[in-house]
Structure 1
Amino acid sequence: MKKIFSLLFITMSVMIFAQDQVIRFNQLPQASQNFITSYFGAKHVSAVIMDDDYFSKDYEVILNNGTKIEFDGDGAWKEIDGKRNAIPMGFVPKSISNYVKKSFPNAKIKKIEKKRFKYEVELTNGLDLEFNSKGQFTRIDD
């Protein structure tokens, strides 16, 4: 019983002290700074938020046009959500961008999420596509 209370106390402590902090652009990992500067322009950054839960850090960058970019603690992108805006294609795996251009020539990618074994892509025409970790098309998601 004592172990259960100790574990519960530790869990609650972490939850209480874990917090989101607004930070400056130059406090992002260098990889994140380089990514934003290369594909979006650092001068378009509206806010940078660090989520520090003591076990890992994640970063969220919000641009002036509403685009949201999420990074892991090492600075690698996890998700880019352009909301209604098309996102730049330079970082999108070539096989994914080629598939979208060929199969949906009138649509652009407005959101991409990199997961452990797949990519999820949302197009401006409303379709959601899934690709495997190698960027090969697997299915249209409903």
Structure 2
Amino acid sequence: MKKTYNILLFMVLGIFVVFGACSSDASEEMPSAVSKFTTQYFPGLGVKSFQELKDGGCMVQLSGGPTITFDGDDMWKEIDGNGSVLPQVLMYDQLPTDLYEYLQATEQQSDVYEMKRDKHYYKLTMLDTVITYDRATGKITYPGAKDGKMSRRSD
């Protein structure tokens, strides 16, 4: 009986050691602006991994959620839903007004799986198409549009 008790105690301690070693919170390594962004738009999702990038930015993988890449100023560059649609409030807050209004007008604000941006464009990946927004002109382009372009701004 005592031998069984000792084996059981040893196994329980082993489990605590294994789980203790795996429970290091990657969110503690993240810059505060990155942490605030992830908790604001993806509440309840823990941080699976955090990685600093050579360009000064970082990449965050949320548990059961998106992968987000940030630049050196802690601004998002890419948000990949990894097969899940992105929250509408994220798009409302983070996309240019013209682009979000276009999504609303075409009833696609619930269909965005990935968002990318740089100093020239925003690119939204949907299930079966890609929408690009030119930051300089406000033109929205997508496959199948007349002449490949649609503008929400009056020229």
Normalization by structure 1: what TM-score?
0.70
Alignment partner, residue 37 of structure 1: 39
Pairwise CA RMSD: 2.6
Q: What SS does structure 1 have at the residue aligned with 2:72?
A: coil
Residue 63 of structure 2 aligns to which amino acid in structure 1?
Answer: N
Check if 1:75 corresponds to 2:78: no
Q: Which has the higher contact order (CA 8 A, sep 6+)?
A: 1
Paired residue secondary structure (2:39): helix
Cα deviation for residue 107 of structure 1 reads 5.2
Q: Which residue of 2 aligns with 1:61?
A: 60
Structure exhibiting the larger radius of gyration computed from Cα positions:
2
CA gap of 1:106–1:77, structure 2 versus 1, over 3 A, is closer
Aligned length: 117
Does 1:100 pair with 2:99?
A: no
Q: TM-score, normalised on structure 2?
A: 0.64
The equivalent residue for 1:140 is: 142
The one-letter code of the counterpart of 1:83 is: N
Q: Secondary structure at the match of 1:120?
A: strand
Aligned sequence identity (%): 21
For residues 122 and 34 of structure 2, what CA distance do their matches in structure 1 show?
Answer: 19
Match of 1:130 in 2: 132
Q: Can you list the C-alpha shifts for 1:38-69, whole angstroms capped at 9, x where unaligned?
A: 00126422111112x3xx31211111224110
Comparing both structures, which one devotes a greater share of its residues to strand? 1
Structure 1 unaligned runs (5+)?
A: 1-22
Structure 2 CA distance for aligned equivalents of residues 111 and 135 of structure 1? 22
2:29 alignment counterpart = 27
